Amino acid sequence: MLFCGGPATQGPGMVVGAELKEPMRSHHDIEKESDRYYRKAIKFYEALARRTAAAGHAVDVFSGCLDQVGLAEMKAMVNWSGGSMVLTDSFVTAIFKQSFQRVLEKDDAGDLQMGFNATLEVQTTKELKVCGLIGPGVSAGKKTAMVSDTEIGVGGTTAWRLAAVNAQTTVGVYFEVANQQSQALQPGSRGLVQFATTYQHARGEYRMRVTTIARSWAEGASPEIAAAFDQEAAAVLMARIAVFKAESEEVGDVLRWLDRMLIRLCQKFGDYRRDDPASFRLNPNFSIYPQFMYHLRRSQFLQVFNSSPDETAFYRHCLFHEDTTNSLTMIQPSLMSYGFEGTPAPVLLDSVSMKPDVILMLDTFFHILIWHGETIAEWRNAGYHEQPEYENLKLLLEAPVVDAQSLLVERMPVPRYIVCDQNRSQARFLVSKLNPSTSYSSANQYGGGEAVLTDDVNLSTFLSALSGLAVKNAS
C-alpha cells in the first residue's frame, strides 16, 4: 500500500522538480510531450508494475493531497495488479477513512473479502479466437491456437494474471469469429467459451471457479442476433475499448472511431428506407445504445478538459474495474426527482428536469449530489420545514438524504457527497452532466427547464445526425 501525500521529486520516478515554482504537468503538456519527467516516470513505474504483477503482489495507492501526486505515472502499478486507487484531498477526509476501511473489510468468518494471485484462463471452440482482455490484469504469456491476430487490450494470450480480485472485479474479454467461409456451420451447432479462474483465498486455500457458456450460432442477417443483443453490456465493452485506445491515441481519433462503429451498427440493425432519415427506427434492444454513446463521448473518460491527468487516471481505473451496472452509472449518471406530487422517480438526465419546485439526486458513481430547486431552497432557508404545519416539506428534504446514505454505504471508493442549490457554484457538477436540450440558444424550445450555457450538441440533434448518416449509402 502506498499513501501518497505529494508528488515524487527525487529518483527515477520523479514527476516534478523540487522547486515549488515548477508546476505539475497538465494534459496539454503530456500531449505536446513538453514535460521532461513524464515519459521517464512512466517507464520506471511500468517496470515496477511488471515485477509486482509477476510476483503476484497488488499495489493500492491512496492519494491525500490538494494537488496532483503522480497517479497518471503510477497508474500501471494499480491497473496491472488489480489494486485499489483512491483520490482524496486529505488523509483526514471521510472519503479516505471509509475507503481504506472497505479495502480491509472482512467477512463473517474473519477473512479478507478478496482473492490473491489469481489467474484467468479462457478456452473456446475452434470457431472462436481470443482477441484480448481489458481490465485489471496482465498477460500470462500463454500463446495457443485460440489466440487471434487481432489484438484488443492485452492480447496475444489466452491467460492473464490478476494479483488481487474481489467481488467487484470485472474484466472484459473480446473474441472474434474465425470460422472459414468454406466451412459452413451446422444447423443447431453451438460455440463454447470456458472461463477458468484460479485464486488463493485469504485462508490460504486455492480455489478454482469454472464457468462454461454455450451459445447457438446464427447467420449474419439472422433476427436472433438482434433479439439477443445486450445494449448495456455492449456499451460498457465499447467504452473500455475507447478508453484503452485513448491512453495511446488522440482523443479526436477515438471519437471518430466510436462514431463509425455506431453508424455501422445503425446501418446493419436499423429499419429504414434509403435516404429517408424520418423513416429510421431501431429495435428496442438497440434503442438506448446511441444514448449511451452520446454520454460516453461527453464523459470525463474521453473529454479531459477540466480534469487533471491524475483525475483522468483515477476515473479510467474505476471504469476498467467495475461491473456493468456501476460502469453505466459512470457513463450515463442516474437522476432521481423528489417533489410534492408523487413518489421519488427517475427522470431524464436532461436540463428540462431542473425545476424550481423539486429536489434532484444525481449519482455519477464518483459523486452523489443533492440539488435543491430555487423555490425549495428559499422555503428551507426561511425555516418552513421546522414548523409542524410544513411536515411534508421536512419529509421531502429528508428523502434524498436517506437514499444518498444507502449509496454511500455500499460503494468503493466512497463517492464525494455534495449538497447544493439551483444557480449556486456547485450546481455545475449537475449541469455538466445534463443533456443541454434547453441551452442559451434554445431556452424555450422544449418547454421549461433551466437554460444551460454550452455549445455542446444536445441528444436530439445528435440522434438526428445519426439517422441521416445511417440511411445513406455506407462509405
Give yes or no for residue 264 having a pLDDT over 90: yes
pLDDT band for 464, please (50, 70, 90 cuts). Answer: very high
- Could you give the CA distance from residue 351 to residue 358 in angstroms, rounded to a whole number? 13
Mean residue pLDDT across the chain: 92
Of the given ranges (1-15, 40-54, 135-149, 437-451), which has the lowest mean pLDDT? Answer: 437-451
Work out the average pLDDT over 223-229.
90
Using the Cα atoms of residue 369, residue 375, residue 379 and residue 381 in order, give the sign of their dihedral.
positive
Task: List all residues 6 or more positions away from 148 whose beta carbon is below 8 Å from its beta carbon.
Answer: 129, 130, 131, 132, 155, 175, 176, 178
What does the pLDDT read at residue 473? 61
H/E element holding 61? strand 61-64
- Closest by Cα among 324, 257, 326, 263 to 297: 257
pLDDT of residue 223: 87
Cell of 177: 469469429
Least confident of 181-195, 274-288, 365-379, 440-454: 440-454
Helix, strand, or coil (residue 109): coil
The three cell numbers of residue 350 are 436532461
Q: Tell me: the pLDDT tens digits for 418-460?
A: 999 999 999 999 999 999 887 766 644 445 567 777 778 899 9
Neighbours of 263 (CB within 10 A): 19
Residue 382 contacts residue 374 (beta carbons within 8 Å)? no
- Asked if residue 164 lies in contact with residue 170, where contact means CB atoms within 8 angstroms, the answer is no
Low-confidence winner among 180-184, 237-241, 382-386, 420-424 (lowest mean pLDDT): 180-184
Q: Which three three-digit cell numbers place residue 27?
A: 494534459
Q: Which residues are paired to 4 by β-bridges?
A: 63
| Residue 407: exposure state from Cβ atoms within 10 A (0-12, 13-18, ≥19) | middle
- Mean pLDDT throughout 27-53? 94
pLDDT digits (tens, 9 = 90+) for 114-170: 999 999 999 999 989 999 999 999 999 999 999 999 999 999 999 999 999 999 999
Please determine, for residue 61, whether its predicted confidence score (pLDDT) is greater than 80.
yes
pLDDT at residue 475 above 60?
no
Residues 303-326 have a mean pLDDT of: 96
pLDDT(410) > 90: no
Q: Is the pLDDT of residue 64 over 60?
A: yes
Q: Residues 348-352: what's their mean pLDDT?
A: 93
C-alpha cell at 168: 467487484
- Specify whether the CB–CB gap between 277 and 284 falls below 8 A: no
Q: Tell me the residue length of the chain.
A: 475
Q: What is the dihedral of CA 241, 26, 304, 155, to 10 degrees?
A: 0
Q: Please say whether the beta carbons of 321 and 135 come within 8 A.
A: yes
**Percent of all residues in the chain with a pLDDT value above 70, rounded to a whole number:** 96
Question: In Å, what is the CA distance from 270 to each residue of 12, 228, 281?
Answer: 54, 15, 6
Range from 83-97, 181-195, 343-357, 446-460 carrying the lowest mean pLDDT:
446-460
- Mean pLDDT computed over 217-227: 85
pLDDT value at position 445? Answer: 47
Q: How far is 52 from 153, CA to CA, in rounded Å?
A: 20
The confidence score (pLDDT) of residue 342 equals 86
Taking CB atoms within 8 Å and a gap of at least 24, the contacts of 65-68 are 65/4, 65/5, 65/6, 65/89, 65/90, 66/90, 67/6, 67/7, 67/24, 68/7, 68/15, 68/24, 68/308, 68/309, 68/310
Amino acid code (one letter) for 331: I
pLDDT digits (tens, 9 = 90+) for 183-201: 667 767 899 999 999 999 9
Of 242 and 275, which is predicted with more confidence? 242
Rounded to an integer, the average pLDDT of 76-104 is 95
User: Among all chains, which residue has been given the C-alpha cell 472519503?
Assistant: 95
Residue 449's pLDDT is: 65
C-beta neighbour count of 402 within 10 angstroms: 8
Mean pLDDT of 371-385: 95
Q: Is a pLDDT exceeding 50 seen at residue 382?
A: yes
b/e burial code for range 311-340 (CB count within 10 A of at least 16 → b): bbbbbbbbbbbbebebbbbbbbbebbbbbe
Confidence (pLDDT) at 262: 97
Q: Residue 316: name the closest of 245, 231, 368, 262 by CA.
A: 245
Calculate what percentage of the chain has a pLDDT beyond 90.
85
Using CA atoms, how far apart are residues 261 and 272, in angstroms rounded to an integer? Answer: 18
**Position of cell 489494486?**
83
Start-to-end CA span in the chain (Å) = 51
Looking at residues 46-73, what average pLDDT do you find?
95
